[in-house]
Amino acid sequence: MKAVVYEAPRSFEIKTVDTPRPGPHEVLLRVLMAGVCGTDLHLHDGEFGPTYPLIPGHEFVGEIEEVGSAVSGLSPGQRVVVDNTRQCGECVNCRRRRANFCLNLVAQGVNAPGGFAEYICAPAGRCFVVDDLPVEVAVLTEPTACVVHGLDRLNPAPGSEIAVFGAGPTGLLLAQFLAASGGTRVTVAAPTAFKLKLAAAWGADVTVELDRSRPERNAELLRAASPDGFDMVVDATGATAVLDQAIELIRDGGTVVTYGMAPEAATWTISPYEVFRRELTIVGSFAQCYSFDRALLALRTGRIKTDGMITHRFTLDEYADALTAVAESSCLKAVIVP
Ligand SMILES: [Zn+2]
Ligand SMILES: [Zn+2]
């Protein structure tokens, strides 16, 4: 089969490799579509703990081609999405039900074969049947599951005023979920007009178009959006400059959320006095954890909208172009269609 294979950071090839064979508890999937996201850019640079050789791709939808000998309840022809993670169940973190910190975490597309390939094997117990969902919607399950986990972490009180920085797929999904879960006035701030339009169409109460060359004006617009300060500011960009600004924008007792993935070497300076005096809370949210089923519910009911989210489609051979696109502002969501 054809696959994107990394041998080292920044060094990948589109290669022919052996098609995997499903183990007794696995299914073999023909990949229908796989989402490319910012994490794949970090993986490209060797960040986020990749093991080589690596086939990336952690957001995939496939059609079952074959089921392992011990698999029941799934059959060839069904369309599924896959929770790409597997935990050991035995380490200190698993024993505390912190499955996303499993010390022996296996994450397909990060340290195990992922979905930028024609075929992939996945544990049957990690598959969710999505015959009722269009592929274009189902492919967004994993990022939506990450957002649901974020909501588990934040648990915003009803009546909260929340700002989300970033209007990429994650920012747009977060803004919608926050508006459905306690966020009573949700502001989305980002530099790209067409993404803000989507944010507004999907329920953001306020949108602020940021102009990178005019930080003073941005700060003014954001302060005007919530003169008393936001209860929560969520950074869905991974940019330290946003986090610096977030501290100024939250009200006393407020919460700053680092949701976007910053470069591993980035640092963020916070005044401990300010955290103490203003009782600030800083919350991180990493990946997803027991949230696939709830993400699917939100996509099925249409509570979370995704029409028009996918702006770019590429073949496996065009993987380099897909990575370039993901870094550009004209791209909202890029997918690989093997
Ligand atoms: Zn992702
Ligand atoms: Zn574990």
Going residue by residue through the chain, which has 338 residues, state the pLDDT in tens, using 9 for 90 and above: 999 999 999 999 999 999 999 999 999 999 999 999 999 999 999 998 899 999 999 999 999 999 999 999 999 999 999 999 999 999 999 999 999 999 999 999 999 999 999 999 999 999 999 999 999 999 999 999 999 999 999 999 999 999 999 999 999 999 999 999 999 999 999 999 999 999 999 999 999 999 989 989 999 999 999 999 999 999 999 999 999 999 999 999 999 999 998 888 999 999 999 999 999 999 999 999 999 999 999 999 999 999 999 999 999 999 999 999 999 989 999 999 99
Ligand number nearest CA of 57 is: 1
171, 196 in Cβ contact below 8 A? Answer: no
Residue 42 Cα to ligand 1 middle (Å): 11
Report yes or no on whether pTM surpasses 0.85: yes
* Cβ-Cβ contacts under 8 Å for 238 (sequence gap 6 or more): 38, 260, 261, 262, 263, 266
Beta strands in 90-182 (DSSP E): 106-107, 119-123, 127-129, 160-165
Distance (Å, whole) CA 105 – CA 288:
12
Q: Other CB atoms closer than 10 Å to residue 329's CB: what's the count?
A: 13
Give distance in angstroms: CA of 272 to centre of ligand 1.
Answer: 32
Domain 2-140+306-336 has CATH 3.90.180.10: yes
Q: Please determine, looking at this structure, whether the domain spanning 147-284 carries the CATH number 3.40.50.720.
A: yes
Q: How far is the CA of 136 from the centre of ligand 1 (A)?
A: 15
Dist. CA 38 → ligand 1 center (Å): 7
CB 168 within 8 A of CB 36: no
- Residue in 29, 277, 268, 270 with CA at minimum distance from that of residue 138: 29
Closest ligand by atom to 43 CA = 1
Task: In whole angstroms, give the CA distance from residue 262 to residue 182.
Answer: 26
**Residue 96 and residue 68: Cα distance in Å, rounded?**
31
What strands, in cross-sheet order, belong to the sheet with 183-190?
A: 206-209, 183-190, 160-165, 230-235, 250-258, 281-284
Question: Is 147-284 in the same CATH topology as 2-140+306-336?
Answer: no
Q: Which two tokens stand for residue 247?
A: 């501290």
Q: Where are the domains of the chain?
A: 2-140+306-336, 147-284
Q: Give the separation between CA 158 and CA 180, rounded to whole angstroms.
A: 10
